[in-house]
């Protein structure tokens, strides 16, 4: 059975546009009996900022931890186990003040564990998580793709490859045809390039509603690749 870990980070919950895009994709696969979806809303988790005390708990051998350290280490341990169990990671990511939500950063901080999700080598850090793919649905309130204000794309790209040993991607996978003429639905987009392990989807058009129903097929011109995250609401 394929396990999908869907991570949401919008302050607007299911009403956030990044959440709506991700849920539209999940809706297409959740009725498949061979797929199990584990949903996590990091905004509602209210994880605190990472502290030196919590990091010290990780670095202390389990047999030597005190009660407080066991509790602190368990926070990260549970998050790491969920990531390890996933075959695909789906991320719904809005842009807040030119970056990812702080709640998502706090979640990521609990995933990056030396000796568990990555290791140091003579040539630099190497990810230890294998056989995983990632799909990122990003929504923004302006057009930042390709500008110095786009901090999300390089950060997400580097972090996912930091922990995943076999992540492969191209700098940009161009869509066939002109962008203004290319309106596939999300199912078409996800299957565009099976060689890419990380798909960051670029939403360039205002979200479209038909009879008050969200319709990504009409609204989203998406690029599979890593060069662009686009414009939409949060």
38 touches 26 (CB < 8 A): no
pLDDT tens string 186-201: 333 333 234 445 555 5
- Cα–Cα distance measured from residue 161 to residue 206, given in angstroms and rounded to the nearest whole number: 30
* pLDDT attached to residue 43: 95
**β 198-201/133-139 pair status:** parallel
Task: Determine which of 115-124, 131-140, 164-173 has the lowest per-residue pLDDT on average.
Answer: 164-173
Mean pLDDT score of the chain, rounded to an integer?
75
Residue tagged 């990511």 (tokens) = 93
pLDDT tens string 55-77: 999 999 999 999 999 999 999 99
Give the mean pLDDT of 106-125.
93
Query: Is residue 231, in this structure, part of any structural domain at all?
Result: no
- Cβ neighbours of 65 (radius 10 Å): 17
Count structural domains, the chain.
1
Query: Is residue 233, in this structure, part of any structural domain at all?
Result: no
- pLDDT-above-90 percentage for the chain: 41
Look at residue 177 and tell me whether its pLDDT is greater than 80.
no
- State the pTM of this model: 0.75
> What is the gyration radius of the CA atoms in the chain, in angstroms?
18
* pLDDT attached to residue 221: 34
Query: Is residue 230, in this structure, part of any structural domain at all?
Result: no
Q: Which domain holds residue 144?
A: 2-225
Query: Is residue 201, in this structure, part of any structural domain at all?
Result: yes
Query: Is residue 232, in this structure, part of any structural domain at all?
Result: no
Where residue 137 sits, what CATH number does that domain have? 3.40.50.360
| Biggest CA-to-CA distance, the chain | 61
Query: Is residue 46, in this structure, part of any structural domain at all?
Result: yes
* pLDDT attached to residue 65: 97
- Cα–Cα distance measured from residue 67 to residue 72, given in angstroms and rounded to the nearest whole number: 9
More confident residue, 211 or 136: 136
Query: Is residue 169, in this structure, part of any structural domain at all?
Result: yes
């Amino acid at each position: 059975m394929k396990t999908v870990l869907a991570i949401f980070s919008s302050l607007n919950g299911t009403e956030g546009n990044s959440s709506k895009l991700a849920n539209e994709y999940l809706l297409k696969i959740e009725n498949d009996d061979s797929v199990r979806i584990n949903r996590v809303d990091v905004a509602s988790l209210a994880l605190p900022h990472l502290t030196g005390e919590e990091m010290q708990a990780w670095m202390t051998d389990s047999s030597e931890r005190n009660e407080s350290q066991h509790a602190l280490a368990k926070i990260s341990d549970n998050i790491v186990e969920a990531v390890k169990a996933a075959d695909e990671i789906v991320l719904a990511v809005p842009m807040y003040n030119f970056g990812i939500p702080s709640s998502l950063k706090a979640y990521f901080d609990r995933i990056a564990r030396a000796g568990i999700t990555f290791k140091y080598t003579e040539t630099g850090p190497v990810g230890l998580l294998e056989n995983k793919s990632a799909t990122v649905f990003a929504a923004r309130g302006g057009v930042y793709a390709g500008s110095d204000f786009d901090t999300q794309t390089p950060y997400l790209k580097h972090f996912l490859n930091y922990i995943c040993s076999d992540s492969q991607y191209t700098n940009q996978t161009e869509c066939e045809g002109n962008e203004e003429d290319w309106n596939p639905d999300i199912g078409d987009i996800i299957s565009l390039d099976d060689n890419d392990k990380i798909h960051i989807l670029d939403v360039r058009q205002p979200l479209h509603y038909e009879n008050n129903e969200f319709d990504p097929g009409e609204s989203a011109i998406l690029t599979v690749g890593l060069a662009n995250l686009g414009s939409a609401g949060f």
